[in-house]
Each structure stands twice: as C-alpha cells, then as structure tokens.
Structure 1
C-alpha cells in the first residue's frame, strides 16, 4: 500500500512510518521539521526509516513541507491509499503562549488533509487527536461520551480537528477515524516531556523537577501500543467515522512517576518542585473499551515496565539522544 504520514518525522509519526515501511509498504512522510524541539531527533528518525526501507520491500520518501500548503497536501494525498495525519503543533504550554499557531496547523492543516482526501479515493484517514480535548474531569476514567471542555488552546484545536473528521465522514462519506492519544512515551520521545526530563536529569545526577505538588495523574501510553492500533486501522474499517480513546487503562501520579525513575537510576537524589504551568490537565485516565470492542485494542505495557524499557533505551542511545534533550 501507499501510505502518507504527515508529521512523520516526529515521535509518533516516525514510529508509524518505520513500522509500516518495515512491513514492505511504500511510505511518504510530510514534515516541516519545525524546531519545537531539536530537529536532530527528527533527522535521526528519518535516517532510521530510510535504513528500514533499504532492508525491506518497501520504499521511503521524505518531503519537507507543511500541511498548511494545500497544493502540496493535495498532491501527496492523491498518491496515497491511507493517510496517517499526525502533523500538529504540539504542546499545551506552547499553545497558551501562542494560541493562533496550533489553530493554523491543527485545524486549517487538518482541513487541507480532509479536503484533499474527499476528492480522491482514500481508503482511510486516521487522525491523531488527544486526551487534552476532555479538560476538567467530571468522572474518571474518561469514556468518549465524557464532556469535552478543553483547558488549553491546544485541546481546543484537537477537538476541532476530530470533529471536522467526524463531519467529513458523515457528510462526504470519507472514511475517518480519530484517536485520542493519552500521553504517549517511548524511544525517541519528545525531550520536553516528564519521562524524558526525569530520566535525563537523574542520569546526570540531577534531581527530577516535579511541576506542582505531583498529585496530577496521567495515563501514559507506550508507543508500541499506539503503533499497533494505527496499523490495525490500515485495513480494518470497523471504526470508520468513530472517535476512540487510546490509552493504557492505568494511571500514575507524577510524584510517584518521578520516584520510580529516580529509584531505578539514582536513589540518592531528592525530588524538587516547581510551579505548575497554566493549561495542564490535572488528571487523565482512559476508558478504552470502545477501541477494544471495535478493533480488539489491548494495551500491552504497564507504566513501570515501559519506563524501565525507556531507561534501557536511553542508556543505549545516550550518545546521540542526550545532547539533543539537553539542548531542548
């Protein structure tokens, strides 16, 4: 199959691109290499995908460009069978400082993809959404019927994107699925996330810094589980038109997470605390029963196991990854 991955040099998109090219599919990646964090991590991902293509029957093409470029998006989508739309301006805190940019990319860019897809013969558009659409919990775990009241411009932009995808399915018959990711982590993850920050600091003998009092809870989802559900959607039409939670079904408070990482790397370190940023959700916890029913989704990696795997990967890749984390 011909697969287009927007944002395919990023963390999640890069893992999807690598996985499907290893399976022998022809993959095109569109990414603007935005320096939201050090682009060296993205360039490393591109190199990994190119090597994967050389070792498989698939092909890999990287196109440096932007989903806001409607003509470019039209051309690339016209050549694709399946589109994994992962491109976005990430970052809750960034969106608080600069709300228009996530709207331009996450809403207007998504409309470009959807418009291009409805004019072609796409088998499916899979859209990356976020647990940030929920905002303040009225109950936990979140199911897909929970009210959506985002507390950040980023969450608003993701909600708008997934609703456009739903409407394009209902109005135009475009096969779309939106996946609400819950705090994804794993190898090559963004350096400005809690897990990568904690691991980097502890590895270098510095105490992990917890924002707020650490009582915030997160449903952390291992990258392999995210890749698996996206791969399922390549050929499974059971969820067309749907919006699905994709999480781990468990959660952990940030204070305990910092302790788990500290205890594995350097138990002598003390935790430090900083001010909790505006726009951060207080709690996330996914009910994934809908994804399980429709797609057979079953998360495979509990947070402590996943963190241990990430620490091992960090140590094995420290020579290239750590300098880029420290610069970000």
Structure 2
C-alpha cells in the first residue's frame, strides 16, 4: 500500500514532535491527510519547539499536546484512540549523555516503555526510532541490521535498551512494532549542536576560522526529507512489523571532507581548527557509519532521493535566513 493512501484519515500520534525530525514528520503526515496529535515536551513558556516554525496552514490541522513521555498516565491518554504512534521523543545529544546519563535512561528507556505499554493496551501500531549510533564503530561496512550493537556512549546504550524493549513487546505480546534506524539526518531546523549547522552558523557569522571536533570520523548523511519518507514507508508497511530497518543515504564522508564541501557550497572558504571541548573521549568516538539500506528497499520501497550537495544547499539557505536564531560563539552540547 502506498504511504499516502495509508495515512489518509488515520489518527496518528507523534512523540518528540517539537524536534528536528519530528516537526518535519508532522508536516508530512498532515499533507498525507492524517489526523495528527503531536506531543511536545512541556515547558512553563508553552513553547512548541520546531513546531513553532511549521506554517500555520499546517499547524492548524495538528492537535498539540504538552507533556513528557516519562509520564506514564499522560502517555496512555495521548495514545488512546490512535492508529499509529511514531515514537521519536528522546534525549539525543551525545556529549550531554556523558553529563546526565540518569536522565537519558529516564527519557529514552522508561519513556519508550511507557509508549509501548500504552500501544499494547490500545492496539496502536508503533514506529520506534532507533539510531545508527547503536552500532558503534563499524566492524564491517556497509552496516546492515545484523551488525552487532555496541554502547559506545551512554546515549547509544539507552537507545539499545529502548530498541530491545520494542523488540520484546513484539515478540512477547504481539504489539505491532517496527523499529526504524536512521543514520545521520541533517537539514533545516537541526540543532546547532550538530556538525553541519555548527559549521554553517560560524560561516554565516563571517568567521574565517571554523571550530570543530574531530575531522576523522566518517558519517552517512541523509537529508531530512528522505529520512521522513523512510518513516512514512515503515509506518505504512505490515512487512516492517517486528523488523529493524536502516534508513540512510548509502554514502559516507569524513567530517573534514564535509567541512570542505560546506565551504564550497556556501562560497565561504575558511580554515578548520580543532576545539577539544567538541571531541569525544577516544573509546567513545564512532569512527565509521555507512548504511546498508537494501532491507528498507526490499521491505518498504525506500530509496533516498536528495544528494548531499543538494541537501547542503537547502540547509545553507535556511541557516542564512534564520541566522538570528543561532549563537555563533556558543558550542551547544
């Protein structure tokens, strides 16, 4: 079944809807005709994260709920009546996981348990969001879904735990769960803690010396529109249930090479300088990520469409447009 026909009229919940990927997914679901309920982490200011940057013509069709996946009762209320739950809510900053590992367990593991319990009770289909960081440094490449999992950071360890909970609910209770494992997604609205917007905001501010972490690691970078297409395809597929499915570009590039490509796309040459505060501990650094997406193509018909060069151009245009939102001298963990 085509994703577009699957979602029309469906009641769909998105946790982590105020985040980078979540906000783009909400937009796509509204375009597909879904009735969307979007969970955004509660703050006293009632801000809705990146949903505040979604066009009002789209957001007017979304029921925004302020809450927290760590609140089991709130999650049950959120999921009641839903056909599909896209579970994206998570703490994702790797450097901050070294600082606050207990909070990562509470959000990423316990929060996922709450979503699974609610889905089990109400019969909702769940698309659980994993991460390529669960693989650790590649023992072989490209990385398929059978690759061993390695907790090289507290963040990746909590995501492995959440993935295994999702697997257990499918095997133990028959809860209809599919796990999507995105590789490094980038694009408009991404936090400036990430490599691409961090480099771009420094260039946009006129810096001729750009401060970065390690330039050695290689990453598989996927434009956000392609990642969202993967979510929609996995959520619409019965064949995806009980499966873990990689979503990436199938291309890898080192951080140093990526920075040079950003300089080229932006038309702003600069010099790289290593900032020790941005470098992971040696044993925690993941050196290579490269997705094997054959399973995604075979099971759900997924194929990336946006080249890295095209995606960087779109991201650069966004950063220039919203440079006032960025603080070039600040490194966010």
CA contact (8 A) 1:92 1:280 kept: no
What SS class does the counterpart of residue 85 from structure 2 fall into? strand
Q: Deviations over 1:158-201 (max 9, x none)?
A: 11111111111111111111111111111111111000001100
Does 2:124 correspond to 1:115?
no
Q: Counterparts of 2:236 and 2:246 in 1: how far apart (Å)?
A: 19
Q: Counterparts of 2:267 and 2:106 in 1: how far apart (Å)?
A: 43
Q: What residue number does 1:70 align with?
A: 72
CA contact (8 A) 1:50 1:60 kept: no
Q: CA RMSD for the aligned pairs? A: 2.2
- Structure 2 vs 1, CA of residues 244 and 161 (structure 1 numbering), >3 Å: closer, same or farther? same
Q: Using the TM superposition, give the Cα deviation of residue 143 of structure 1 relative to its aligned residue in structure 2, in angstroms.
A: 0.8
Which of these residues, 323, 326, 331, is aligned with residue 322 of structure 1?
326
CA contact (8 A) 1:136 1:150 kept: no
Q: What residue number does 1:277 align with?
A: 280
Q: What residue number does 1:98 align with?
A: 100
- Structure 2 vs 1, CA of residues 325 and 53 (structure 1 numbering), >3 Å: closer, same or farther? farther
- Structure 2 vs 1, CA of residues 228 and 325 (structure 1 numbering), >3 Å: closer, same or farther? farther
CA contact (8 A) 2:130 2:163 kept: yes
CA contact (8 A) 2:69 2:112 kept: yes
Q: What residue number does 1:45 align with?
A: 51
Relative to the length of structure 1, the TM-score reads 0.91
Q: Using the TM superposition, give the Cα deviation of residue 271 of structure 1 relative to its aligned residue in structure 2, in angstroms.
A: 1.5
Q: Using the TM superposition, give the Cα deviation of residue 231 of structure 1 relative to its aligned residue in structure 2, in angstroms.
A: 1.4
Does 2:301 correspond to 1:299?
no
Does 2:17 correspond to 1:8?
yes
| Structure 1 alignment gaps of length 5 or more | none
Q: Counterparts of 1:327 and 1:194 in 2: how far apart (Å)?
A: 11
Q: Deviations over 1:231-276 (max 9, x none)?
A: 1233321110001111110011000111111233344421112232
**Across the two proteins, how many residue pairs are aligned to each other?**
318
CA contact (8 A) 1:203 1:266 kept: no
Q: What residue number does 2:242 align with?
A: 241
